[in-house]
Amino acid sequence: MDLDLRLLKDMHPLLPASEAATYTYRSSLALQRRGHAPGVETTVTVDGDPEVQASLHWDEADQEGQAQVDRIGVTEFGAEAVSLVLVSVARKWTVEKRLQRFQSADWLLVTPDGERVALEISGIDGDFDRRRLAEKLGQVRSVKFCALRFASVVAFARPQAVLAGA
């Protein structure tokens, strides 16, 4: 599986180009600060399927930019970029809109069949933590406006992305 962060805007046409560029840039910072280079192998798990290896691709970012951005923001935006690319590649879901903080999920997505999906995303600068996934699944379960609810957790130390249904 190839996860090409450079294609984020192409995968999600409703995502403004400036937002896609920000997410992609921050994901490159999150990966590179952990010593990763474009093409790094990552472990991916999609809704209980067996783990698969994927390659993450991006354009290298100027590391001087690290001093100008919030470290937590880099992790969160980076996780959003990876997750949005993952849901596009693995499920063909696309962004309908960004949700607001009080709505218990980050994104409202649409399946190829037109069903809506609530997606909550979290990033971890370190290694993957199942407790974080459980916390995010609990959060997205409270979404009442669509039946399909998922959480994604992305870890950057040893790249790993998990997408799970609630």
CA 82 to chain centroid: 4
**How far apart are alpha carbons 147 and 151 in whole angstroms?**
13
Q: What is the pTM of this model?
A: 0.95
Give per-residue pLDDT as tens, 90-139. Answer: 999 999 999 998 899 999 999 999 999 999 999 999 999 999 999 999 99
For the stretch 45-103, pLDDT in tens is 999 899 999 999 999 988 777 767 778 889 999 999 999 999 999 999 999 999 998 89
pLDDT at residue 151 in the model = 98
Structural domains of the chain, count: 1
Contact residues for 148 (Cβ-Cβ < 8 A; gap 6+): 111, 115, 116, 117, 118, 165
Contact present, 80 and 95 (Cβ < 8 Å): no
Per-residue pLDDT, averaged over 8-16, amounts to 98
Residue 67: its pLDDT value, please?
A: 67
Q: Which residues, 6 or more positions from 30, have their beta carbon under 8 angstroms from its beta carbon? A: 74, 75, 77, 78, 79, 123, 125, 156
Q: What is the pLDDT of residue 119?
A: 98
Q: How many CB atoms lie within 10 A of CB 88?
A: 20
Residue-level pLDDT at 72: 85
- What pLDDT does residue 111 have? 98
Instruction: Show Cβ contacts of residue 100 under 8 Å, excluding neighbours closer than 6 positions.
Output: none
Which amino acid type is present at position 138?
G
Q: Distance of CA 51 to CAs 42, 47, 112, 145, 161, Å? A: 10, 10, 24, 30, 10
Residue 144 lies in domain: 2-165
User: Of the given ranges (12-16, 73-77, 148-152, 155-159), which has the lowest mean pLDDT?
Assistant: 73-77
